[in-house]
Structure 1
Amino acid sequence: MSTTPAADAAAAGLPETMQAVICHGPENYMLEELPVPVPGPGQMLMKVEAVGVCASDLKCYHGAAKFWGDANRPAWAQKEITPGHEFAGTIIQADEEATSHHGVAVGDRVTCEQIVPCGRCRYCVRGEYWMCGPHDMFGFRNFHGAMAEYLVVPKQARAHRISKELPPQHAAFAEPLSCSLHAVERANITFDDVVVIAGCGPIGLGMVAGAKAKSPLKVVALDMSDNKLALARKCGADATINVGREDAVQLIKDMTDGYGADVYIEGTGHPSAVGQGLNLLRKLGTYVEYSVFGSDVTVDWSIISDDKELDVRGAHLGPHCWPAAIKMLESGILPMDEICTDQFVLKDFQAALDLVADTTGASVKVSILPGGEA
């Protein structure tokens, strides 16, 4: 006998409808009343507890061309999709196929990787799932994200259990932290390295913590905010430089007998940070680019080749770093109350987006708590 979504929700003791943010286009996000989704075979229903708001959410909201599609890149900020890819919540419905596949149980708190890999493309078959060809993602492409009270976790998603003892906004930080740790992994840091992290936002602070965990000679954090630099020290930075009033290139050379840093990891998304990194690295140094830029970046590529023979590497998402990120969060070693500075209820999603856009303020990580109290 067929049933309606409302009947299925009622039978499970759930409300018939929920609130969810829907993307109708650039700067046209609306809070709407929708039926509570019904999980199909192999799927799980999550009650969302927290969803982080990050710079990529903001860039998509404002409709930067590269996010909405052009002649060279497919659009991955899809209309009629609920945004939100950094999230944690409790599994409230799932069949045996789903729980067995994901290794979780109804009642567990779960966080999911941003990518929803197809499992069939060349990259997935080779185990490189984070570079999946179709590249479906929660909150961006083909799968609703977590700016909603409930979320369906598909079978092909990559779910991870996380402690219920963490505040929800801290649990949702697993996604950006895993990305930070992957960027650090890409740098191949050794014990005698001087490592420079550009940017002390949520991603940069995770990079600082991850780099420190590799036990290099020195971790140096760069930013224009003294408050964020102080927070970077709490995350493990040995030294900090305010690039708004200090010459980072010269100071790094002074620290390294004139040679320059061994590793530079870029986490600001500002074009000027690219040239800065190329100039402060030593010959044969390593440059890791994580950021998503809102505009093209122009640099002198002869620095990379003829001048220094640099190893330039990209970093995308947080593959294989989720267990480490969750362990770090659960250990309590990070000053998460100072990182997760601002929480909003779902109806105030626009205020959350606007706060992320305000780079002059004291906020670090902005989160939305659907159905909760901010």
Structure 2
Amino acid sequence: METKMKALLSYAPYDNRYEDVPVPTIGNGEILLKVKGCGICAGDIKAYHGGIRIWGTSEEDRYIEAPCIGGHEFYGEIVQKAADVEGFEIGDTIVSEQIIPCGICRFCREGKYWMCTRSAVFGFKQYANGGFAEYVRLDKNCLNHKIPKSFTSEQSALIEPIACGMHAIERANIQHSDVVVIAGLGAIGLSMVNITSLALPKLVIGIDVKENRLAMGKEFVVEEIMNLTDGLGCDVYVEASGSPRSVRQGMDSLKNLGRYVQMGVFAEEVTADWNVMGDGKELTIIGSHLSALTFPSVIKGIESGLIKTEGLISHKFALADWKEAFQTAEKDPNAVKIMLLP
């Protein structure tokens, strides 16, 4: 096998570099994956723009370990595996969950690995280099899943983002009598509308207003939700856009005793009127982090046809054309999910 590969490394905000780097070497329990495709997450775009969630305000609170290879929405083919790896063979097409859990912290020991205190998400740590590359090393603690042979490349690349959306919907604990609003109709948001509908709630409302139009659309959106709910508001508001203004929109749209689910990632810190949450509407505020235990269900849902994937991958670019891909993800009104092909 060649000793060098092409990869997209993040050095600093606005400083991504397409470079030659060594192909990873594997040790006990590890797998070398030849990347077949990797989606661009909104978090990848925000990291490029120096979002505080990734770069922090100083070295002390910085999450990213630069330079590192980005990308956590990847899938690929096993080309090497250690002798002690069981359940997988060379040639298998697999997807790996987006976090490498430590396996020893309290959350890992309790089976809640997605909340691992090490929080090693692919693409943000040097020991967890991601899928914007020709090859990825899968650590012995990675959670890997076989992809059915019937899956298209688009379906395979969508497993990770859809799994994140499914976890958010699980956290919402949707009832049949609920009116549910999904704010932010990217690939994940559209999938959440799909998954929410399978729970047969009273009504599902999907809303999406681009950031540059959100100020104009906010009042209309809240008014329309009120009209659709006899002036009471929605039972559940799932924030999947990562827009700070969407938080206020959600608070205004929810009925008394409503449930607010935060799934989108913000580039900066967000403020809200806590009186609305407490002394006002007595809202339940719910966070949603990564994908928890949903990968097998997402794969089963896609395979059965219950989870739709058609049209969610709107554009494909060669990894070398990453600049155009990032610009398309940011600026093209027809962009849904962008996939990079090493």
- Common fold, TM-score beyond 0.5? yes
State how 1:7-156 maps to structure 2 within 5 Å: 14-70=1-57, 74-98=61-85, 100=86, 103-141=87-125, 142-156=127-141
In structure 2, the partner of 1:175 is: 160
SS in 2 for 1:29: strand
Query: Contact conserved, 1:66 with 1:73, CA < 8 A, in 2?
Result: no
Q: Which amino acid aligns with 1:202?
A: A
CA distance in 1 between counterparts of 2:32 and 2:218 reads 50
CA distance in 2, matches of 1:48, 1:274: 36
1:191 maps to amino acid: H
Q: Which residue of 2 aligns with 1:328?
A: 301
Matches within 5 A, 1:339-358: 339-358=312-331
- Counterpart of 2:213 in structure 1 is none
* Aligned partners of 1:169 and 1:369 also within 8 Å: no
How big is the shift at 1:53? Answer: 0.4
Which amino acid is the alignment partner of residue 319 of structure 2? L
Render the CA deviation track for 1:176-201: whole Å, top value 9, x for unaligned.
Answer: 10000010001000111111111111
How many residues are paired up? 337
Matched, 1:368 2:334: no
What is the SS of the residue equivalent to 2:217?
coil
Offset of residue 74 of structure 1: 3.0
Relative distance call for 1:318 and 1:73 in structure 2 (3 A) is: farther
The structure-2 alpha-carbon separation of the partners of 1:65 and 1:298, relative to structure 1 and needing over 3 Å to count, comes to closer
Partner Cα distance (1:78, 1:369) in 2: 24
Q: Please give the root-mean-square deviation of Cα atoms over the aligned residues, in Å.
A: 1.9
- Tell me the distance in 2 between the aligned counterparts of 1:73 and 1:309: 36
Q: Give the whole-Å Cα distance in 1 for the aligned partners of 2:39 and 2:70.
A: 10
Once residues 343 and 132 of structure 1 are traced to their aligned partners in structure 2, the CA distance between those partners, rounded to angstroms, is 32
Query: Offset of 1:335 from its aligned partner?
Result: 4.8
Instruction: Select 2:289's aligned residue among 309, 312, 316.
Output: 316
The C-alpha deviation readout for 1:281-311, integer Å capped at 9, x for no partner, is 1111111011111122222111111111111
Partners of 1:16 and 1:298 in 2: CA distance: 48
CA distance in 2, matches of 1:134, 1:73: 15
- Residue-by-residue CA offset, 1:32-89 (whole Å, 9 max, x unaligned): 1223222211100111000000111111112223311336973222212111100110
C-alpha separation between the residues in 2 aligned to 1:245 and 1:56?
23
Q: What is the CA–CA distance in structure 2 between the aligned matches of 1:57 and 1:260, rounded to whole Å?
A: 33
Shift of 1:334: 4.8
Which amino acid in the other structure matches residue 340 of structure 1? I
Q: Is the 8 A contact 2:195 2:307 kept in 1?
A: no
Deviation larger for 26-35 or 51-60? 26-35
Range with greater deviation from structure 2 (200-209 or 45-54):
200-209
**Aligned AA (1:247):** F
1:298 aligns with 2:271: yes
User: Which string of whole-angstrom CA distances, capped at 9 and with x for unpartnered residues, describes residues 227-274 of structure 1?
Assistant: xxxxxxxxxxxxxxxx83872222222222221111110111111111
SS at match of 1:173: helix
Counterparts in 2 of 1:271 and 1:245: CA distance versus 1, 3 Å: closer
- Answer whether contact 1:23 1:78 (CA < 8 A) is retained: no
In structure 2, runs of 5+ residues without a counterpart are 211-215
Q: Which amino acid aligns with 1:39?
A: I
Query: Which residue in the other structure is 1:240 paired with?
Result: none
User: AA paired with 2:187?
Assistant: P
Match of 1:307 in 2: 280
Could you say what secondary structure the match of 1:89 adopts? Answer: strand
Give yes or no for contact 2:218–2:249 (8 Å, CA) kept in 1. no
SS at match of 2:137: strand
Separation (CA, whole Å) in 2 of partners of 1:198 and 1:69: 26
Residues of 2 paired with 1:273 and 1:129: CA distance?
Answer: 29
Q: Which structure is larger by alpha-carbon Rg, 1 or 2?
A: 1
Is residue 280 of structure 1 aligned with residue 280 of structure 2? no
Helix, strand or coil for the counterpart of 1:130?
Answer: helix
Determine if the alignment matches structure 1 residue 187 to structure 2 residue 172.
yes
* Superposed displacement of residue 326, structure 1: 1.4
Task: Return the alpha-carbon distance in structure 2 between the equivalents of residues 204 and 295 of structure 1.
Answer: 21
Three-state SS of the structure 2 residue aligned to 1:296 is: coil
Q: Please say if residues 258 and 284 of structure 2, whose CA atoms lie closer than 8 Å, have aligned partners that are also in contact.
A: yes
Q: Secondary structure at the match of 2:224?
A: helix
Alignment partner of 1:137: what SS? coil
> Superposition pairs for residues 239-258 of structure 1, below 5 Å?
244=217, 247-258=220-231
Aligned-pair CA distance for 1:169: 3.1
Q: Structure 1 stretches of 5 or more lacking a match?
A: 1-13, 226-242
User: 1:5 — aligned with what?
Assistant: none
